[in-house]
Amino acid sequence: MLDEARLFWRLHAVTVEVAVLRAEATADQARRGDPLWLRGTKYAYLTAIECCADVVQHVCAEEGWGRLDDDGDAMRSAGEHGLLPGDLAASMRRLVAFRDTLVHRHLDADDQLTERLSDLDALDAFVAAVAEFTERRAGEG
C-alpha cells in the first residue's frame, strides 16, 4: 500500500527545493561569488532529485514492478508503468545521472548546475505526475 504521507512530504520537499533553486537561478554575481552559494544550490538540487528517487522507489516497490538495479532503472520502470509519462521518465533518468555527477564532484558539475537552474520544469512535472497518479489510484480503491 502506498504510504501517502511519505509521498506527500517528499513531493512537498521537491516543491520547496525547486522554489529555492528558482530564486537562486537569478542570483547576481556577488551572491554567486559566495563559496556557500554553490554548495547550497547543489544541496538543494541533490535533495530534490533524491526525494524524487525515493518516491519512485517507494511506488515501484509497493506496486510490485519488479527488481530495480538503481534509481535510473526505477525512473525507467515508472515510465513503463504509467507513473510518469515516457519523456518525463527519460528526463528524470538524466537528472539522476546529474545527481551522480554532483555527488562525485566531476569537474564540469559546477557549469552544468548553473545551466540547469534555468530549466527546472522536469521537477515540477514530476510532482504533478505523481500527484495525478496517486489521485487516480485513490479513485480506483
Backbone angles phi, psi at 42, to 5 degrees: -60, -45
Domain segments of the chain: what residues?
A: 4-140
Contact 11, 82 (CB under 8 A): no
Q: pLDDT tens across 17-48, in order?
A: 999 999 999 999 999 999 899 889 999 999 99
- The set of cell numbers assigned to 92 is 528524470
pTM of the model: 0.93
pLDDT at 8: 96
CA 104/CA 36 separation, integer angstroms: 18
CATH says 4-140 is which class?
A: mainly alpha
Q: pLDDT tens across 55-114, in order?
A: 999 999 999 999 999 999 999 999 999 999 999 999 999 999 999 888 887 666 777 888
**CA of 15: how far to CAs of 19, 83, 125, in Å?**
6, 18, 11
